[in-house]
Amino acid sequence: MERREQRVLSRQTWLCLQPPSPPTRFLSTDKAQMSSSHPFIKSLSLDSSCFSSPPVNFLQELPSYRSIARKRTTILSRDKQNGTLLRPTDSYNFQLEGEITEDLDNQSIRKYALNISEKRRLRDIQETQMKYLSEWDQWKRYSSKSWKRFIEKAREMTTHLELWREDIRSIEGKFGTGIQSYFSFLRFLVLLNLVIFLIIFMVVLLPVLLTRYKITNSSFILIPSKDVDIQCTVYPISSSGLIYFYSYIIDLLSGTGFLEDTYLFYGHYTIDGVKFQNFIYDLPLAYLLSTIAYLALSLVWIVKRSVEGFKINLIRSEEHFQSYCNKIFAGWDFCITNRSMADLKHSSLRYELRADLEEERIRQKIAERTSEETIRIYSLRLFLNCIVLAVLAACFYAIYKATIFSQEHMKKEIDKMVFGENLLILYLPSIVITLANFITPIIFAKIIHYEDYSPGFEIRLTILRCVFMRLATICVLVFTLGSKITSCDNYLCELCGYNQKLYPCWETQVGQEMYKLMIFDLIIILAVTLFVDFPRKILVTYCSSWKLFQCWGEQEFAIPDNVLGIVYGQTICWIGAFFSPLLPAIATLKFIIIFYVKEISLLYTCRPSPRQFRASNSNFFFLLVLLIGLCLAIIPLTISMARIPSSKACGPFTNFNTTWEVVPKTVNTFPNSLQTLVYGITSEAFAVPFFMIICCFSEKELITGLREEYQYFLYSVMAEGARELSDISLIGALIPFVKATSS
Amino acid sequence: MDKGHREQEEENDKDEYGMATHSSILYLQEKTTVGRVMLSVNPFRDRICRVFSHNNLFSFEDVLGMASVFSEQACPSLKIEYAFRIYDFNENGFIDEEDLQRIILRLLNSNDMSEDLLTDLTSHVLNESDLDNDNMLSFSEFEHAMAKSPDFMNSFRIHFWGC
């Protein structure tokens, strides 16, 4: 009985603080009940002093007020006597419809929790109400409705245009939302690369193609470079006498030979401008701006995508992000349609909840550690982290050595070498990177076992280390190349600023390295699928009598590894797009091929894992890793654009010291007022617009989240206080204080 | 009296998962594509049927209403409202401990469930979302918890007929 009164109490407390507009019918029928059950309720006075404006206004700001206001209908329909849920077709129906029509102005009928026949009746009532409005209001309502309908239809149309919708839906149904989010992520990267390629095509390729194929009446402007030593402008295109057949294959795989002086690489665009009929198109500026544009677009799109769809609850720690409420109330995926998937979902929920409770227990155990144990653990962790750093340093050194070896031997007479040796030397950096990325996760997984973290943290730390390893290897490669380019025999590159003997057109050579990395990555993915996944499946299916294969088991789709693989590919694309304008198109094709290969591999060779990733968590993790990749890609690009002198023998920047110099030179040609304006904007911190973009997206959410949290916290404190003090008027006194501190 | 009679009826028809199989639910599951394809493996199918039906009968409009709530375009407040009704097993207007335990049992669907596990999980859920410490979730508390839950919108939907 006590409990029942408490129940009534909390609901009534909430309801009583509603504004005076609820119809008196409701209040009068319940007044008798309210006053009879509890002394606290008796003291509630239902006159206007109870509904003085500060509490009302404060509570109207709470987000739940709106749902309560709308929900008045359903609250009414709960039977007070025995608490059962009344059907809306009962006698209260007429009353509640009357109330809804009072505030039908802005509410869409869709949001009401009623069944279809009631909603139809409401719509009729609303339409008859419309007749009593002025012409202007009628037209306003009609136009807003048709606009909403148009937007919905447009949205529906665009969802039909979504790429691979049916494939991803069926994967979701069979393997769960975690794996589906991987494929959605892959689709996002395909679209991103396509848009990047379109930008580069429009801005750089199109004018060149139009002029070269004489589609428009335009011509190239070639300004011979002055103040530059003639030796810097020499660019020997290697062409040897006897060409073996397989050299074409080598050229295709490594971007040398016949591919070197094509649209694929930077060196082909040795143009200083395009003269159209009415204006001169500044190609160097366009080239630089396209790079900045695609980097900025990628950043904005990734941030936007990570913010939409779910609230980043930055207030709470990572553990609460996967809260029990989320797992229990939103744990069952209502999309599941077949029995095996349902069994899998049950077992994964069992696993997840048990693992969470286990993690709590371990965390408690950790908190109860003695100081000696803590010292021992921390020193052990320090030692193991040093080992991790040593492993990373060893890998980086191996990559550095391999790159230098490969670069030095590439300059020799490659045609005279044996076919296999050729390819080995050309692909040596890629091979070493792939081997390092294969071995280090195994080492990290072994090491973290001894570090004695909680299971969730273990997984996250391992993934973080693997991410860093993968993405840092590219940076090491690029920096090795950079150091080779800027170091000459006598350690001073006075002549041209870079080593023009070995690298007459160094941007093209960097582009070639990126191209090789990309092609090799694709080959490895295809090879692993063909020569590891499928044989494994065949062996496990047909030779299951052998103990070895039984233990090995069928493959599971490892989401973190696959995601790292495609983020690695995307980072190469971002770095390489400056040095090789067609690289984003190749990346688009590569990701399309990977999508189909991975889909086939998943459907035919994988079994669903008992440990499932949650989609919300996955999305955030994928985009975070992608953002790390983007930041790591921007660093070598800015250094090469701003520090290393551009090649004088090829490319659009032969007349500039560095690539970035285009911008100041262009700004100097502006009229004076515009110049001062530009200097003014750039003298403010460049980070200001950057922060504004980030702020617009995330801080708004953060602040509303914080505000809600605070207000709900205060409400709960008030409710407790009210129960103890039995005096609602005291709450009225507290409200102004609460309001002042919460705004 | 009426309630007792109903409970007895429920006792008599239960399927292998211990869920009540009213004739209306059987009708939905066997005669309609919706029931057969979408709801046959759902652990809350009896609750869904009860919430969306009227007097244990389904009309076409009830199925339409159900489809509109579970569609992707439905607004969150509508979904939260119906989720609350579905999870409120004893229909007292609150999700109390008994409801929570039944939800967890349905979700985990296992025969060897220790009491400790159940009470642990229940207490964790209540710790997180029960703001006024009355050991049950009112609608506003449930709404608050679901508004912060990142998976709710993705889980609480059914794909109907390829749309």
Phi, psi of A229 (to 5 degrees): -60, 140
Give the tokens for residue B115: 């009491």
Q: Do the Cβ atoms of A332 and B70 come within 8 Å?
A: no
Contact B109 A346 (CB under 8 A): yes
With beta carbons under 8 A apart, name residues in chain A contacting B87: 329
Segment 16-35 of chain B within 8 Å of chain A by CB: none
- Tokens 């660019």 label which residue? A235
> Chain B residues with CB inside 8 Å of A74's CB?
81
pLDDT band at A393 (very low <50, low <70, confident <90, very high): very high
- Cβ–Cβ below 8 Å for B131 and A313: no
**What local confidence, expressed as pLDDT, does residue A570 receive?**
95
Same structural domain for residues A502 and A620? yes
Do residue A253 and residue A136 come from a single domain? no
Least Cα distance to A508 among A264, A225, A301, A224 occurs for A264
Among the residue ranges A74-83, A251-260, A408-417, A437-446, the one predicted with the least confidence is A74-83
**Chain A residues near residue B134 by CB distance under 8 angstroms:** 3, 6-7, 10
Nearest to B125 by CA among B153, B77, B87: B87
Residue A667 to residue A672: CA distance in whole angstroms? 9
pLDDT value of residue A317 = 40
**Residues in chain A, overall count:** 743
A216 and A269 share a domain?
yes
Sorting pLDDT into bands at 50, 70 and 90, what band is B76?
A: confident
**Does B70 reach chain A within 8 Å, measured CB to CB?**
yes
Instruction: Identify the weakest region by mean pLDDT among A538-542, A627-631, A738-742, B52-56.
Output: A738-742
Chain B interface mutation, best of A67, A80, A324, highest count of B Cβ atoms under 10 Å: A324
- In A107-122, which positions are buried (b, 16+ CB within 10 angstroms) versus exposed (e)? eebeebbbbbebbeeb
Residue A253 reports pLDDT greater than 70:
yes
Same domain, A574 and A520: yes
**What is the model's pLDDT at position A101?**
53
Residue B113: per-residue pLDDT: 75
Burial class from Cβ neighbours inside 10 Å (0-12, 13-18, 19+) for residue A131 reads exposed
pLDDT at A556: 81
Same structural domain for residues A649 and A578? yes
Contact criterion met (CB < 8 Å) for B121 and A329: no
Sign of the C-alpha dihedral, residues A417, A423, A426, A432?
Answer: negative
CB A409 within 8 A of CB A254: no
| Residue A464 pLDDT class (50, 70, 90 cuts) | confident
Q: Which residues of B touch A324 (CB under 8 A)?
A: 121, 124-125, 128
A719: nearest CA in chain B? Answer: B132
> Higher model confidence: residue A489 or residue A121?
A121
CA distance A565 to chain B (A): 26
Q: Does the pLDDT of residue A292 top 90, yes or no?
A: yes
Using CB atoms, which residue from B139, B151, B158 is nearest to A614?
Answer: B151
**Which of A111, A331, A617 comes nearest B78 by C-beta?**
A111
Asked if A324 and B94 come within 8 Å (Cβ–Cβ), the reply is: no
Most confident of the ranges A15-29, A73-87, B131-145: B131-145
Does the residue A689 lie in any domain? no
Q: Is A361 in the same domain as A261? A: no
Mean pLDDT across chain B = 77
Token representation of residue A439:
């071995």
Q: What is the pLDDT of residue A201?
A: 95
Helix axes B97-108, A339-367, angle to 10 degrees: 120
**Whole-angstrom Cα distance, residue A273 to residue A655?**
12
Residue A92 lies in a domain: no
Contact A451, A381 (CB under 8 A): yes
Residue A604 falls within a domain, yes or no? yes
What's the CATH class of domain B31-156? mainly alpha
Q: Identify which has the larger pLDDT, B80 or A19.
A: B80
The per-residue pLDDT for A189 is 95
pLDDT of residue A740: 59
Residues A650 and A626 occupy one common structural domain: yes
Residue A546 shares a structural domain with residue A657: yes
Please give the share of chain A, as a percent, with pLDDT higher than 90: 20
**Are residues A517 and A656 located together in one domain of the fold?**
yes
Mean pLDDT across A226-235? 77
pTM of the model as a whole: 0.73
Chain B residue at shortest CA distance from A340: B41
Identify which has the larger pLDDT, A104 or A497: A497
Percentage of residues in chain A having pLDDT higher than 70: 71
The pLDDT of residue A414 is 56
Q: Which of A609, A638, A661 is the last residue of a domain?
A: A661
Residues of chain A with C-beta less than 8 angstroms from the C-beta of B80: 67
Q: Which of residues 99-158 of B touch A (CB under 8 A)?
A: 100, 103-104, 107-110, 117, 120-121, 124-125, 128-129, 131-134, 136, 138-140, 142-152, 154-158
| Per-residue pLDDT tens over the stretch B40-51 | 788 888 888 888
Q: What is the pLDDT of residue A392?
A: 92
When pLDDT is cut at 50, 70 and 90, the band that residue A451 belongs to is: confident
Nearest residue of A to residue B103, measured between CA atoms: A328
Whether residue A311 and residue B148 make contact (CB cut-off 8 A), yes or no, is yes
Cβ <8 Å between B125 and A325 = yes
Q: Which residues of B19-45 are buried (b: 16+ CB within 10 A; e: fewer)?
A: bbbbebbebbbeeeebbebbbebbbbb
Does A115 sit within 8 Å of B62, measured CB to CB? yes
CB–CB contacts below 8 A, A to B: 182
| Domain containing residue A353 | 331-368
Nearest-CA distance A548 → chain B (Å): 31
- For the beta sheet containing A280-281, the strands, ordered from the edge strand earlier in sequence to the opposite edge, are A219-221, A273-275, A280-281
With bands split at pLDDT 50, 70 and 90, how would you rate the model's confidence at A492? low
**pLDDT tens column, A670-679:** 888 888 877 7
Furthest C-alpha separation in chain A: 107
**Number of domains, chain A:** 3
Q: Which residues of A touch B41 (CB under 8 A)?
A: 336-339, 341-342
Q: Which of A629 and A367 is assigned the larger pLDDT?
A: A629
Contacts of B92 in chain A (CB under 8 A): 7, 83-84
Average pLDDT of A241-245? 63
Name the DSSP letter for residue A114.
Answer: -
Determine, for residues B117 and A357 on separate chains, whether the beta-carbon distance falls below 8 Å. Answer: yes
Condensed to tens digits (0 to 9), the pLDDT of residues A572-615 reads 999 999 999 999 999 999 999 999 999 999 988 888 776 666 66
Mean of the per-residue pLDDT values of chain A: 76
- Of A307-321, A343-357, A692-706, B108-122, minimum mean pLDDT range: A307-321
pLDDT over 50 (residue B18):
no
Pair A346, A223 in one domain: no
* A722 domain residue, yes or no: no
Q: What pLDDT is recorded for position A9?
A: 33
* More confident site: A300 or A162: A300
Contact A67 B55 (CB under 8 A): no
Note whether A148 and A267 are same-domain residues. Answer: no
Please tell me the distance in Å from A36's CA to the nearest CA on chain B: 20
Here the tokens at position A227 are 């103040």
Is residue A203 assigned to a domain?
A: yes
Specify the long-range contacts of residues A672-677, CB closer than 8 Å, at least 24 apart. Answer: none
For residue A410, is it within any domain?
Answer: no
| Structural domain contains residue A95 | no
How many whole angstroms separate alpha carbon A480 and alpha carbon A403?
Answer: 7
pLDDT tens for B87-142 read: 999 888 888 899 999 999 888 887 777 888 889 889 988 888 888 888 888 888 89
